Amino acid sequence: MKKGVSVIICCYNSSSKLLPTLQHLAAQTKMSGLEYELIIVDNNCTDDSVALAKHTWQQLSTPFAQKIITQKKAGLNFARQAGISSALYPIVVLCDDDNWLCEHYLQTVFSLFEKMPQVGMIGGVGEAVSDIPLPTWFDAVKGFGYAVGTEGRYTGYTPSVYGAGMALRRDLFSKLIIDNTIVLSDRKGESLSSGGDSEIAKRFYDAGYHIYLDETLTFKHFLLASRLQWSYYLSLRKSFGKANAQLYGHQNGLSKMNKIRAVLSLLKFGVKHTKYWCFPSFFKVEACAAFVQQYHLRKALLMAANKTDIPTS
């Protein structure tokens, strides 16, 4: 098999974000004997994303091969799966439509995999950029949820990495994530469902494959103004709670109990944080966002199991 890296960009109405993403890909360095390809996955676009991707790549003198595929099943994780299945090379990089990879990203990923055969997945570190000033609350939450910073992780082995810029071995993905076994769809159209990257990382980690973070692998994460509204952020944290309930609920030592008691436990948690429960839009702090995430995690567990012991702390 040829040495190379397949870059996958999954698109749902991405025309407002694609241009700089493609420009940064075109500027990637490449060592002798290493090849790249770009796979654009059309996940039910209704704008000109695909046409823009084709035209822009031609305008950039087609730095490396590009192909367009279609995934009609809505959801970012399903689009990722389609892209990986069509990849030509053994190393795959998941580049979101708003990720501007540093110029050595692909080359460094390949070199790391070559040096560390025990590693199945590699991730990098994002930096938030926008065409508006970042809001003050963004620093208060330390950008959590936007694939920026390290979230307390450092270069070395880690249980997970961001889906943005995630690199993995194609054969392991095909082995661990078989058709129709994905639980979380991740982004679906305009829906803010989340957790798809966490599910992929969890599959690798649970199977015993090493996941590696390299802080020299950096990318700019372009955030539209609409994603920097507090209401959007609370919706994002709500989606994290629901996703975590699906992925990790069984690990919390939850035991079955009377449904009425479980509902009262959930209400007690809400009352304990009354101000965040009743007026979340007025408290632009991490404690409020964390409450929203935890509340919807607990609520999702209750709705899924009907009889669930939900901690009250």
Q: What is the DSSP string of 201-266?
A: HHHHHHTT-EEEEEEEEEEEEE--GGGGSHHHHHHHHHHHHHHHHHHHGGGTT-----HHHHHHHH
Instruction: Output the tens digit of pLDDT for each of the chain's 313 residues.
Output: 689 999 999 999 999 999 999 999 999 998 889 999 999 999 999 999 999 999 999 999 999 999 999 999 988 888 999 999 999 999 999 999 999 999 999 999 999 999 999 999 999 999 999 999 999 999 999 999 999 999 999 999 999 999 999 999 999 999 988 654 655 544 555 555 556 788 899 999 999 999 999 999 999 999 999 999 999 999 999 999 988 888 766 544 444 545 677 678 888 888 989 999 999 999 999 999 999 999 998 888 777 655 444 444 4
CA 294/CA 300 separation, integer angstroms:
10
Q: Which residues fall within 8 angstroms of residue 51, CB to CB, at 6 or more apart?
A: none
pLDDT at position 197: 84
Q: 287 is written with which tokens?
A: 């404690």
Alpha helices in the chain (DSSP H): 18-26, 49-59, 76-85, 105-115, 136-140, 170-176, 196-206, 230-248, 259-272, 274-278, 286-305
Q: Which of 300, 282, 291, 297 is nearest to 231 (CA)?
A: 282
CA 149/CA 215 separation, integer angstroms:
9
CB 116 within 8 A of CB 159: no
Q: What are the sequence ranges of the domains in the chain?
A: 4-225, 230-305
67-to-11, 42, 55, 57, 140 alpha-carbon distances in Å: 13, 11, 12, 11, 41
Q: 129 is written with which tokens?
A: 């950029």
CB 165 within 8 A of CB 217: yes
The domain 4-225 having CATH identifier 3.90.550.10: the answer here is yes
What single letter denotes the amino acid at residue 170?
R
- Tell me the residue length of the chain: 313
Q: Write down the pTM of the prediction.
A: 0.89
pLDDT at position 30: 87
pLDDT at position 242: 87
Q: Which of 290, 305, 163, 164 is nearest to 233 (CA)?
A: 290
CA 130/CA 306 separation, integer angstroms:
42
Q: 69 is written with which tokens?
A: 């595929």
Rg over CA atoms, the chain: 20
pLDDT at position 253: 41
Residues β-bridged to residue 36: 5
pLDDT at position 312: 45
